[in-house]
Amino acid sequence: MSSLLVGLLSALVATNPPAAVSNLVTATTGVSVNVPDPNDPVARELQKLMDNDDAAQAEVDGWIRENREFADKGGGIANAELNRRIRKRFEPVRAGYEDLIKRHPSNAAALVAYSSFLNDVGDLEEALAQLEKARELSPKDPAIWNNLGVYYSDGHHGPPINSFHCFEKAIELKPSESLYYHNFADAVYMFRKDAEEYYHIDEPQVFDKALALYTKALKLDPTDFPLATDLAEAYYGIRPMRTEDALIAWTNALQIAHDEIEREGVYLHLARVKLYHAGRFDEVRAHLNAVTNSMYAELKKTLERNLEQREKMAGATNGPPAAAAMATSPGSASTNPPAAKPLRP
């Protein structure tokens, strides 16, 4: 399931998105690996191993997508069997990392790569242990600090403020890396109360900080569509919504969308913001008419029903459409905070 679709589901129905077919492989988490010298024999061996890792990940992702599609049609295989196949596919990759590290225990890049692999297959405790070893060996590697920040951001490895320090350190060591600002922004957004205490600022200032980090990341990588959507989705958490800023962010995301699926997902977000927070009903209908992909059918129907209700409400009250729409905007009360944003690359 695309991150854009997950964001739409979270925003529209305020419930958890459907679980992945397999619970073995976790979502991408924004970790990174630096291979220092491509001419070094060990580095070349590590790169080949990482390429095999990527190939295995791609194949497994394909299995999960295919099985989800079959399951939607009443077919597919059981989760237990799918997970067995996934484990078997990853066994030679894991063995390769373990062999390389056994022969070169002081190679920090190998430890980081192995940690990333362990994270992807859900062995989080061992992934963190390998990463801590790598930091001891190479304390000035920004990728290691970034990856530690990602792990501490899961809320299960100590206070989330640890992640703030790690991301700050990664940015200090490599201020030109978009990924580090992106992950830092995600952490600040997710752990707003911790950010308030750590930086001695209030919630609106926390949102400002997260938005500034997203904006900096996007300036460094202006074609990163998932990053652009993360920035735009952040506005859902702000009360009252900064409507025009949100629409600008979604419009910018639309301009760098890669295909119709991404574009139509943005149309739905534009429709949602204009429906619930601006009352621009004609524009909402135009956006919805542009959505034709079946994967968005239910979300489109939900917005169409809500559009009809709000148009009737606006006509009944004879008041400004925007006022009538915002009076019943979902999540308009400050007691309804947004769902946590997952870290992503």
- pLDDT per residue over 195-251, tens digit each? 999 999 999 999 999 999 999 999 999 999 999 999 999 999 999 999 999 999 999
Amino acid at 211: L
**Distance of alpha carbon 237 from alpha carbon 203, whole angstroms:** 10
Work out the number of other CB atoms within 10 angstroms of the CB of residue 286. 14
Residue 18 has pLDDT above 60, yes or no: no
Bond before 18 cis per omega within 30 degrees = no
Angle at 291 between CA 67 and CA 340, to 5 degrees: 65
**pLDDT, the chain, mean:** 85
CA distances from 98 to 46, 50, 113, 148 (A): 11, 13, 11, 21
Backbone torsions φ then ψ of 204, nearest 5 degrees: -55, -35
Angle at 76 between CA 72 and CA 79, to 5 degrees: 105
Q: What would the pLDDT profile of 20-30 be if each residue is shown by its tens digit?
A: 223 333 334 56
Q: What would the pLDDT profile of 27-54 be if each residue is shown by its tens digit?
A: 345 666 665 566 789 999 999 999 999 9
**Distance of alpha carbon 75 from alpha carbon 177, whole angstroms:** 43
Interval 136-146 mean pLDDT: 95
pLDDT of residue 73: 80
**CA neighbor of 22 nearest in space, from 97, 82, 91, 85:** 82
Amino acid at 102: K
Please list the residue range(s) of the chain that carry CATH number 1.25.40.
35-140
DSSP states along 22-70:
-SSSPPP---------TTSHHHHHHHHHHHHHHHHHHHHHHHHHHHHHH
- Yes or no: domain 35-140 corresponds to CATH 1.25.40: yes
Who contacts 183 (Cβ-Cβ below 8 Å, separation ≥6)? 30, 146, 149, 150, 153, 167, 343
pLDDT of residue 76: 83
Residue 227 · residue 178 · CB < 8 Å: yes
Q: Which two tokens stand for residue 238?
A: 């702000």
Q: What would the pLDDT profile of 274-327 be if each residue is shown by its tens digit?
A: 999 999 999 999 999 999 999 999 999 999 999 999 999 987 765 555 444 444
pLDDT of residue 77: 86
pLDDT of residue 35: 59
Instruction: Give me the half-sphere count of Cα atoms (radius 13 Å) on the Cβ side of residue 141.
Output: 24
* Predicted structure pTM score: 0.78
Query: Helices 243-255 and 225-234 sit at what angle, rounded to 10 degrees?
Result: 170
Interval 42-70 mean pLDDT: 92
Residue 337 has pLDDT above 70, yes or no: no
Who contacts 263 (Cβ-Cβ below 8 Å, separation ≥6)? 254, 257
